[in-house]
Amino acid sequence: MAQFTKATSVKDWLNQRLAIEKVEKVMGSEYWIPKNINFLWAMGMILAFLFLLLTVSGIFLLMYYQPHVDTAFYSVNYTIMSEVDFGWLWRHIHAVASSVTFLIIYIHMFTAIYYGSYKKGREMIWITGMLLFVTFSAGAFSGYMLPWGQMSYWAGMVITNIFSLGDLQFNGLVEWIRGDYAPGQAFLNRFFMLHVFLLPLAIMGLIGLHFAALRIPHVNNQDGEEIDFEAESKKYLAGDKKGSKVMRFANDFLSKDVMVLGIFLVFFFYLVFFHYTFALDPVNLDPADGLVTPKYIYPEWYFLWSYEILRPFSVNIGLIAFGFSQVIFFLLPWLDRSPNTVAASRRGLFKYWFWLMLINMIVLTAMGKLPPKDPFSTIGLISAVLFIVMWLALPFITKNEKKA
C-alpha cells in the first residue's frame, strides 16, 4: 500500500490520492504539440466545445420536452419557445450548434485529408473520427425526429425505408426499426431514447478513444515533418523554447485554441441570434401529418451529399452506391497508397483529387436539395458517378506518387 503522510495543503492532499500533478503534466504541460500547425488544428477543440454546448443546451430542453406524438410539437414550438424563460435561447443554441458541428466536422475531415493525417500510425485517429461522424449523424437524425413536425415524420419514413434494402424487401426489418408500420409513438420513443441517452454516451466514449488515439502518433503538422518529440521536448524543458520544434499543449497551444474559439464564438452567436433559420427548417414547423406529403422532402444540409448518391439511381443501384459512400471514407488510410504524409499541394495527382473531391461533394450537396428534375438530376447523376469513380481510382493515382 502507498504511504500517505499528513497533507501540507489541499493540493498535496489531492496529489497523494489522485496524482493531479502528474495528470496535469500528461494531459497539459508535457503533452507536446508541434509548432508548425495552423488554426485548422484548433477545429478538434471547437468540436469538443460544441459537443459540450449541445449537451448543456440539450439538458435544458429535456426539462420541458414531451416525447409524445400528441404533445411533442407543442412542447417544443410553444412551451419551450414561448413559455419557458430563455427556452428559445437553448433551442436556438442546440439547433445551430448541431448544424455548425457538421460544418466544423467537414472542415476537420478535409484538413486531415489535405495533410494526410490518417497515415503512418494515425489510422486509429481516422477510424475513431469516422465513428464519431457516424454517431453524430445518427444523433442529428434522431434529434430531428423529436419535434414531430412534417419533416421529422417524412424524413423518418424515407430514411427507415432504406432498411428494406430495395428488392430484398426487408419490410419486417423496417417495421422492427419503427416499432410500427408507420412512424408513430413507438418510433418517437425509441428515437428519443437514442438521442438523449445511447448516442451521447457512445459519443463521449468515442471522443475519449479519439483523444487516446492521438497520444502515441501525436498530431501531424502542416509541413509533414517527422519530429523527434523526445529530443525536442528536452530542448524545450532545458529552456530553449524558441529553438524547440514543439510546445506544450497547455498553455502554449491552448492559448491558440482559445483564441480560435473566441473568434468562432462571434460567428456562432451571430448565427444563434440573427441567422438561425437555416438550422430550423420551415417545413418542420408544420405539425406531422401522415396524410399530407410535403412537396419537397430533403434531409438537413449535412446529409445532402450522401442523399444525392442514393437518389439519382434506380432503387437497388442507389442503395449500393449509398452503402459504398458510407463505408468508403473509413478505408481512406488504405486506399491512399502513397507513403507521403505531406500537404496535398506537394503531392502529385492527389492534389487534383483532393480539390475535385471537395468541389464534387459540394455539387452533390446542392443537387441533393434541389428538386429532382433536369438539369439538376443529370448533374447529380454525373457527380454521383464521379464520386464513386474517384474513390475507385484513388489507389492507382497514389500508387506511383513520387517521394515528396
Which residues here bind ligand HEM, judged by CB under 6 A?
41, 43-45, 47-48, 51, 105, 108-109, 112, 115, 117-118, 122, 125-126, 129-130, 132-133, 136, 207, 210, 214, 219-220
Distance in Å, CB of 386 to ligand HEM, minimum:
21
SS3 319: helix
343/397 with CB nearer ligand HEM: 343
Distance in Å, CB of 106 to other proteins, minimum:
9
Please pick, from the candidates 57, 77, 220, 398, the single residue that binds other proteins as defined by CB under 8 A: 77
Using rule CB under 8 A, residue 198 touches other proteins: no
301 binds, among other proteins, ligand HEM, none (CB under 5 to 8 A by kind): other proteins
Residue 145, C-beta contacts closer than 8 angstroms, at least 6 positions apart: 152, 155, 156, 183, 187, 188, 191, 192, 195
Strands of 235-330, DSSP E: 246-248
Which of these ranges, 55-63, 158-166, 239-247, 334-342, lies near other proteins under the rule CB under 8 A?
239-247
Residue 57, C-beta contacts closer than 8 angstroms, at least 6 positions apart: 90, 91, 93, 94, 97
Using rule CB under 8 A, residue 331 touches other proteins: no
Q: Report which of 368, 363, 371, 366 is spatially closest to residue 387, judged by C-alpha positions.
A: 363
Using rule CB under 8 A, residue 301 touches other proteins: yes
Q: Exposed e or buried b for every residue in 267-285, given b needs 16+ CB within 10 A? A: ebeebbeeebeebbbebbe
SS3 339: coil
135 binds, among ligand HEM, other proteins, none (CB under 5 to 8 A by kind): none
Distance in Å, CB of 256 to ligand HEM, minimum:
11
Residue 326, C-beta contacts closer than 8 angstroms, at least 6 positions apart: 134, 306
Partners of 32 in the β-ladder = 248
Which of these ranges, 77-85, 133-141, 185-193, 396-404, lies near other proteins under the rule CB under 8 A?
77-85
97/288 with CB nearer ligand HEM: 97
CA distance 27 to 105: 23
